[in-house]
Chain A
C-alpha cells in the first residue's frame, strides 16, 4: 500500500458536479407531465374532523385526485429511520396513518390533492370544506403529564410514549457517601435542522407495476420498508431512489413524504406526482429537535470526585412518536463513557404534546443532555472553588472503560490530550488572569465543555452495511454502497479507502453516489455518525476481497504466487521489490476477454458491525458579553476532537465547522416559537428563525487528536455529529465566567440575557 490516500486532503469526489450546478437533486429531474401533490394542513393544534367535503375541490378543472383519511389505508406505522426489528417489542411506536382524521398539531395532514400545476393545487386546497371539533391543545409536557390531560392519541392510556430508564449502582446509598450534594435544572428549546433543500419526493408506477419513489432521504432502504408497511403492500414492490441531497442532519432519517407520495401516484393511475414542501411546511411538518428539561442531583466528595448522579428528564416529543424515547435513551447512554460515577440513575419520560413531531437531529439527544451536564459540572466546580478543567480531569474515565449496560468498550481515548490542546489554543491561563475582576459594560469570559459519543448504534440497533466493487476493463473500479452521501463527504472517504487498499489512485475509484434500492447493496443509511466507521468496514472488506481475487487471477496468468504480489499505483508489482509485473489494466482486460479464463472480478460484501467505538472531544470558547444589550459575541471558539484516525482532514474540518456553527446557533439564537394558547407556529421561516448567517459565525478553530481505535476500519471513529454537542455549554460557561450569571436555558437570546441580567442586578 504505497498510495497512502487515507489521511490525505483528497478533494471531494462530488465537488465538481456541485460547484458547476450539474449535480442533480430530486427537484432537478423532469418526469413528463409531472403532477403536483399538495397537503391540506390543520389550522388547529388539536381537533377532530367532523365533516370533510372535497366535492368542490374535485370539480375544479386540473384537479386529478383528492384524498382524505378515508381514502388511504388505515395502517398504523412508525416513521423513524431505524432498522426493522424481528422482535416486536423493539419496534418504534406505530401511531400514525398517511392522512389523519384527528389533527395533533398545527400543520397536521388532513387531506391531499393532486393537480396539474401548483396554482390549481393551491386553489383546490382552499375548496376543501372541513368542519373541525376543536379540542383543548396540550402544549407543554407538564400539561401533557397532568392527570386527566386530554389524550393526544386515544388508543393509549396517557400521553407518555415511554418512561423507561436505568439505574447503575444505588444512587441513594452513594448520596450518603457524598460530602456534598448539588442540584440544578436546565432547559433546552425546540430547534430545527434547516437543511437548505426542503423535503421533496416524487413517485410513479413503472411499467412493471412497481412504485418508484425518488426522494431526498438519508435512508433509502429503510424508506422502502416503511412505505410498504404504510400502504400494506409487499416491500419488494417499492423502489426508492436517492439522488444528491441538499443536507439532512437527521431530518431525512425519517420517512415524512414518501408513503403519502406513493398513495398519491396510486390515486392517479401511477402518473408521476411530486411533493415539494415549502420552507414553512418543512419547518413544522417534518421533524424538530426535542426540547428537554433536565434535573440533576449529584453527589461529590470533598476532593472533587463525582460519586453519584440522579438525572430526571422530560422530553417533549410533539404530536407523533417518530424516534420517540430513543432520543432520551441515546442521551442517557452516550454521556456515560466520559466521567466516572459510582452510581447513576436515569429517569427520563418522553411525552406527546400538540406541537410538531420531534425526531432525529445531529447528535440525537446528546446536545441537550450535554448542555445540562456540562453546565452542571461548571456550577459544581465553582461551588467547590475548583478550577473547572481540573474538576473535569479528576473525573475522566479514559481507556479501558467498559460500559456496564451495553458492554461497549473504550479502546482509544484522547480526551486528556484534547483538553490540553484546547486550553493551549485559546490561551486559557493567560486570558483567565487578564479577565479577572472586570466591571465594564463589555466583559469577556472563557468556558469549556467536554463530550463523549458513539460510532453507530451497536448494540441497540443493527449495524449492517453493504459494499460492492466491480473491476472495469481499464483497471478502474466502481464502488456501490447503500450508505448515503448527504453532504458530509462519505462518498469521498469511501473512495479513499478503496484506493488505499487496492493501491490505485482515488480518481480510478468511481463511487456511485445515487442509492437505488433495486441496485444498491443493503445499508441502513446516514445516521448515528456510523457510515465512515460501519460502512467503512464493509468497503474495506470488499476492497480486500477484490484485491485478493485480482492477485489470484494474476497468479493464474503468470505463475507468480498471489502472496508474492501487491498492487501499487495501478500496477501489479512484486511485493518484496516493487518491480512492476504488469499494469492492472492488463489484468482487467484478461478478466473480461480471455477466451478461456475470462471471469469479470467483483466483490459483493456485507458487514455486521458488532462493535462501537467511543469518540471524545471538547469545545473551548471565549465570549464578549454586552451587559447593557444582552448581546453575546463568540470571540474565539475551538473544537478539539478525538475521532480516531482522520481519513480526510479537509472534510473533517468541514464537519467540525458546520457542527460548531450549528452549536453556536443552538446556544445563542435558534428557537422555534409557538403561540402559547393555540400552538400556532410563529417563526417557521428562515427570516424569523435565527439560523446563523455568515455575519453571525466567528472563525472556528479545529484540531484533532488522532488516536487509533482498533475496531475502526482504519482506526477511525465517529465525527459527523459530535461537533454540534459541546459548543452550547462551553458558551454558556464562558458567559458565566464573564458575568457571574449562570444561565439554565438556551438559546441565550439578547432578550433572555437582558432579563436575567436585570434579575441579577447587573443592569
Chain B
C-alpha cells in the first residue's frame, strides 16, 4: 500500500513522516517513534490505557488513525515529565501511591493533566466524571482521585 506523508509534532519534536495509511496513532507512537509509554489494553476505546493528548484534548490513540494527527500536536507520557523533572501530577501519583501495576498509569495521568488544564480546581465528582474513560483494575481508583486532588491543590499549569 502506498505511503502518505504527514507532519506531526510529538512531545514538542517535529516529525516529517511517510506512513502506512492504515497505521493507528498508537502504532505510530509505539512502533515507529518507539514511545512505548503509551499502553494498549483493548484496541477499541474501552479502557483508556492508550490515552494521549491531540492538540490538548484526550483521545484514545487506538481509535485515531495516524494520518489524522497530520499538522497536529501530540503529547504522550514521555513528553509530560522525565525522571529528573516529573510533572506535579506524576509526583502526586507517586506520593499518594496511585500506581500499582502501572499499565493504566500513563493514560490516567494524561487524562488528569487534561482535566487540570481545563479546570484547575475540580470538585471530586468532576474528577471522577473526567476520568471515567480510564479503567483501572488494581487501585479501586481511591488513590488516583487523591493524587489528582492533591496535584490540583498544588496548582498545575504548563503550556504545550
Report the separation of the CA atoms of residues A14 and B77 in the bound assembly, to the nearest whole angstrom.
Answer: 16
A686 touches B46 (CB 8 A): yes
Report the separation of the CA atoms of residues A279 and B103 in the bound assembly, to the nearest whole angstrom.
Answer: 14
Residues of A within 8 A of B132 (CB): 693-695
Q: Does B8 contact A (CB under 8 A)?
A: no
Report the separation of the CA atoms of residues A659 and B143 in the bound assembly, to the nearest whole angstrom.
Answer: 14
B139 touches A658 (CB 8 A): yes
Q: Does A763 contact B (CB under 8 A)?
A: no
Q: Does B37 contact A (CB under 8 A)?
A: yes
Q: Does A458 contact B (CB under 8 A)?
A: no
Report the separation of the CA atoms of residues A486 and B137 in the bound assembly, to the nearest whole angstrom.
Answer: 12
Residues of A within 8 A of B103 (CB): 25, 195-197, 246-247, 487
Q: A11-B95, A279-B43 are in contact. Are A19 and B140 (CB under 8 A)?
A: no
- Of residues B82, B93, B99, which shows the largest number of chain A Cβ atoms within 10 Å of its Cβ? B99
Residues of B within 8 A of A19 (CB): 86, 90, 93-94, 99, 102, 105-106, 109
Q: Does A729 contact B (CB under 8 A)?
A: no
Q: A686-B46, A686-B135 are in contact. Are A488 and B100 (CB under 8 A)?
A: yes
Residues of B within 8 A of A460 (CB): none
Q: Does B129 contact A (CB under 8 A)?
A: yes
Residues of A within 8 A of B99 (CB): 12, 14-15, 18-19
Residue from the list A244, A657, A685 in contact with B139, Cβ < 8 A? A657
The A-contacting residues of B in range 23-61, CB under 8 angstroms, are: 30, 34-44, 46-47, 49
Q: Does A3 contact B (CB under 8 A)?
A: no
Residue of A nearest to B130 (CB): A694
Report the separation of the CA atoms of residues A695 and B101 in the bound assembly, to the nearest whole angstrom.
Answer: 21
A197 touches B41 (CB 8 A): yes
Residue from the list B47, B83, B134, B140 in contact with A697, Cβ < 8 A? B140
Residue of A nearest to B92 (CB): A19
A246 touches B101 (CB 8 A): yes
Residue of B nearest to A662 (CB): B137
B138 touches A654 (CB 8 A): yes
Residue from the list A246, A654, A691 in contact with B102, Cβ < 8 A? A246
Residue of A nearest to B37 (CB): A21
Residues of A within 8 A of B49 (CB): 196
Q: How many whole Å from A674's CB to the nearest CB in chain B?
A: 20
Residues of A within 8 A of B101 (CB): 18, 195-197, 244-247, 486-487
B83 touches A196 (CB 8 A): no
Report the separation of the CA atoms of residues A119 and B97 in the bound assembly, to the nearest whole angstrom.
Answer: 40
Chain A binding site: helix, strand, loop or mixed by DSSP?
loop
Residues of B within 8 A of A653 (CB): 97, 142-143
Residues of B within 8 A of A193 (CB): 137
A195 touches B137 (CB 8 A): yes
Residue of B nearest to A20 (CB): B83
Residue of B nearest to A200 (CB): B40
- Of residues B90, B97, B143, which shows the largest number of chain A Cβ atoms within 10 Å of its Cβ? B97
Contact code string A82-94 (vs B, CB < 8 Å = 1, else 0): 0000000000000
Residue of A nearest to B102 (CB): A18
Q: Does A609 contact B (CB under 8 A)?
A: no
Q: Does B116 contact A (CB under 8 A)?
A: no
Residue of B nearest to A695 (CB): B132
The A-contacting residues of B in range 134-155, CB under 8 angstroms, are: 134-145
Q: Does B12 contact A (CB under 8 A)?
A: no
Interface size on A, residues (CB 8 A): 57
Contact code string A475-507 (vs B, CB < 8 Å = 1, else 0): 000000000001111000000000000000000
Residues of B within 8 A of A659 (CB): 140
Q: How many whole Å from B130's CB to the nearest CB in chain A?
A: 9
A28 touches B36 (CB 8 A): yes
Residue from the list B34, B35, B97, B141 in contact with A651, Cβ < 8 A? B97
The B-contacting residues of A in range 289-337, CB under 8 angstroms, are: none
B102 touches A244 (CB 8 A): yes
A12 touches B97 (CB 8 A): yes
Q: A196-B103, A197-B101, A654-B143 are in contact. Are A119 and B22 (CB under 8 A)?
A: yes
Residues of B within 8 A of A487 (CB): 100-103, 138
A658 touches B140 (CB 8 A): yes
A249 touches B137 (CB 8 A): yes
Residues of A within 8 A of B94 (CB): 11-12, 15-16, 19
Residues of B within 8 A of A196 (CB): 39, 41, 47, 49, 101, 103-104, 135-137
Q: Does A22 contact B (CB under 8 A)?
A: yes
Residues of A within 8 A of B136 (CB): 196, 694
Report the separation of the CA atoms of residues A467 and B101 in the bound assembly, to the nearest whole angstrom.
Answer: 22
B135 touches A695 (CB 8 A): no
The B-contacting residues of A in range 186-235, CB under 8 angstroms, are: 193-198
Q: Does A59 contact B (CB under 8 A)?
A: no
Q: Does A27 contact B (CB under 8 A)?
A: yes
Report the separation of the CA atoms of residues A198 and B42 in the bound assembly, to the nearest whole angstrom.
Answer: 8
The B-contacting residues of A in range 673-704, CB under 8 angstroms, are: 685-687, 691-695, 697, 699-700
Report the separation of the CA atoms of residues A18 and B93 in the bound assembly, to the nearest whole angstrom.
Answer: 10
Residue of B nearest to A688 (CB): B46
Report the separation of the CA atoms of residues A23 and B38 in the bound assembly, to the nearest whole angstrom.
Answer: 11
Q: A12-B97, A19-B86, A650-B97 are in contact. Are A194 and B137 (CB under 8 A)?
A: yes
Residue of A nearest to B131 (CB): A694
Q: Does A596 contact B (CB under 8 A)?
A: no
Residues of B within 8 A of A198 (CB): 41
Residue of B nearest to A694 (CB): B141
Report the separation of the CA atoms of residues A23 and B83 in the bound assembly, to the nearest whole angstrom.
Answer: 11
Q: Does B16 contact A (CB under 8 A)?
A: no
Residues of A within 8 A of B102 (CB): 14-15, 17-19, 23, 244, 246, 487
Q: Does B71 contact A (CB under 8 A)?
A: no
Residues of A within 8 A of B47 (CB): 196, 279, 686
Report the separation of the CA atoms of residues A112 and B136 in the bound assembly, to the nearest whole angstrom.
Answer: 31
Residues of A within 8 A of B37 (CB): 20-22
B44 touches A658 (CB 8 A): no
B142 touches A20 (CB 8 A): no
Report the separation of the CA atoms of residues A84 and B142 in the bound assembly, to the nearest whole angstrom.
Answer: 39
B139 touches A20 (CB 8 A): no
Q: Does B128 contact A (CB under 8 A)?
A: yes
Q: How many whole Å from A227's CB to the nearest CB in chain B?
A: 24
Report the separation of the CA atoms of residues A697 and B43 in the bound assembly, to the nearest whole angstrom.
Answer: 24
Q: Does A30 contact B (CB under 8 A)?
A: yes
Q: Does A660 contact B (CB under 8 A)?
A: yes
B39 touches A687 (CB 8 A): no
Q: How many whole Å from A512's CB to the nearest CB in chain B?
A: 17
Report the separation of the CA atoms of residues A247 and B103 in the bound assembly, to the nearest whole angstrom.
Answer: 8
Q: A21-B36, A28-B36, A657-B139 are in contact. Are A685 and B44 (CB under 8 A)?
A: yes
B140 touches A15 (CB 8 A): no
Report the separation of the CA atoms of residues A742 and B45 in the bound assembly, to the nearest whole angstrom.
Answer: 38
Residues of B within 8 A of A17 (CB): 83, 102
Contact code string A393-436 (vs B, CB < 8 Å = 1, else 0): 00000000000000000000000000000000000000000000
Q: Does A718 contact B (CB under 8 A)?
A: no
Q: How many whole Å from B109's CB to the nearest CB in chain A?
A: 7
B142 touches A699 (CB 8 A): yes
A21 touches B77 (CB 8 A): yes
Which positions in B face A, CB cutoff 8 Å? 22, 30, 34-44, 46-47, 49, 76-78, 81-83, 86, 90, 93-95, 97, 99-106, 109, 128-129, 131-132, 134-145
- A selection of 19 A-B contacts at a CB cut-off of 8 Å is A12-B97, A19-B90, A21-B106, A27-B40, A195-B137, A245-B101, A246-B41, A247-B100, A249-B137, A487-B101, A653-B97, A654-B139, A657-B141, A658-B137, A658-B139, A661-B137, A661-B140, A687-B44, A697-B141
Q: Which 9 A-B pairs have CB atoms at the shortest separation, nearest pair first? A: A21-B37, A487-B101, A246-B103, A18-B102, A661-B140, A657-B140, A21-B77, A686-B46, A28-B36
Which positions in A face B, CB cutoff 8 Å? 9, 11-12, 14-25, 27-28, 30, 119, 193-198, 244-247, 249, 278-279, 486-489, 650-651, 653-654, 657-662, 685-687, 691-695, 697, 699-700
